[in-house]
């Protein structure tokens, strides 16, 4: 089955890790394709997550002006349209884009406006998730979550924590997630990627998000899988990325199928379209090849993604109709 033209839902996608060669050429005109591949695309196997994330640096270094932020956002909208993504939640860390004097508010406003422009052009429906990072201070985490509150009601739909969970404790971020809870903001959190099931437990207990970014190492603890089911916590699964970051040795070892069969809510995502050099169509193909997934699997994952999306119910209803029509045909 070819899923290239099927509508898809993507909940876990990093803006600064998804720059096409086309947009990088616009921002750094002298760059060759070979140099682009070397700097922006990770090898099939990295040492670990920290090694993989070194490729993200090149992306945000280029995204330090309003025009660069606009071009990268529009470029990603074009990529999503080409991949037949009907709804996407795009995440980025505003505080990484201040090197040329932009304020955090200007950064968010610029990406928010560019997303509106991209959606009007492509027909994509999308939201923005603002990320704090594991190595940030408590003040930086608070500044980020306060931006989510400030932009509530725009295309900004939620708050996340990303970066290397194995290298940094959660302490600096508890206050920000408590603020998000108090203000009724949607939250997701990276966990169960660079560290095992204990990092998912710790994240759930201290941050209380409704979704977990990755979370694939939850399979190491059957009690945790039961808890995720009981609490309807959604896992944003990114297969190829997990092989590259050495969470699993090969795609055959990936727990996506085990998670699906356990009944835990999950979706299929790309994580970093450029760093992992993938599309959502590619990820569907991989799961189809390795685990004999078919339309019913992808229908379920897409409907679960819609149920757990940070979107109003009327948008969800429209998306459910689009997905059902395609996958039940």
SS3 10: strand
Distance CA 123, CA 324 (A): 19
The residues facing 131 across adjacent strands are 160
To the nearest 10°, report the CA torsion of 286, 289, 290, 293.
90
119 CB-contact burial (10 Å; exposed 0-12 / middle 13-18 / buried 19+): middle
Identified catalytic residue from 89, 146, 193, 304: 193
Any catalytic annotation for residue 193? yes
Distance CA 21, CA 27 (A): 10
Given a contact cutoff of 8 angstroms between Cβ atoms, the answer to whether 170 and 205 are in contact is no
Give the single-character DSSP code of 271. B
Which tokens in the block code for residue 83? 């991949």
Give the catalytic positions in this structure: 193
């Amino acid at each position: 089955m070819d899923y290239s033209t099927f509508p898809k839902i993507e909940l876990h996608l990093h803006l600064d890790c998804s720059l096409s060669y086309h947009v990088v050429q616009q921002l750094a005109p002298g760059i060759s394709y070979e140099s682009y591949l070397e700097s922006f695309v990770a090898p099939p196997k990295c040492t670990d997550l920290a090694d993989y994330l070194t490729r993200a640096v090149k992306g945000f270094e280029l995204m330090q002006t309003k025009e660069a932020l606009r071009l990268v956002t529009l470029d990603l909208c074009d990529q999503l349209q080409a991949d037949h993504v009907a709804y996407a939640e795009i995440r980025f860390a505003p505080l990484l884009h201040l090197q040329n004097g932009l304020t955090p508010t200007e950064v968010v406003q610029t990406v928010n406006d560019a997303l509106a422009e991209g959606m009007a052009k492509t027909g994509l429906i999308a939201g923005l998730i603002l990320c704090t990072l594991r190595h940030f201070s408590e003040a930086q985490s608070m500044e980020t979550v306060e931006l989510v509150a400030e932009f509530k009601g725009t295309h900004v739909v939620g708050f996340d924590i990303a970066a290397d969970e194995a290298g940094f404790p959660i302490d600096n971020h508890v206050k920000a997630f408590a603020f998000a809870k108090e203000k009724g903001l949607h939250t997701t959190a990276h966990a169960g990627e660079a560290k095992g099931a204990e990092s998912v437990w710790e994240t759930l207990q201290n941050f209380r998000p409704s979704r977990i970014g990755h979370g694939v190492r939850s399979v190491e603890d059957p009690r945790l899988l039961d808890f995720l089911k009981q609490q309807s916590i959604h896992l944003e699964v990114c297969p190829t990325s997990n092989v590259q970051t050495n969470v699993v040795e090969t795609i055959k070892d990936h727990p996506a199928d085990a998670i699906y069969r356990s009944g835990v809510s999950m979706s299929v995502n790309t994580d970093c379209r450029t760093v992992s050099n993938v599309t959502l169509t590619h990820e569907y193909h991989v799961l189809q090849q390795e685990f004999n997934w078919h339309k019913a699997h992808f229908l379920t994952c897409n409907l679960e993604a819609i149920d757990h999306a940070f979107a109003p119910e009327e948008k969800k209803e429209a998306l459910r109709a689009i997905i059902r029509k395609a996958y039940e045909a």
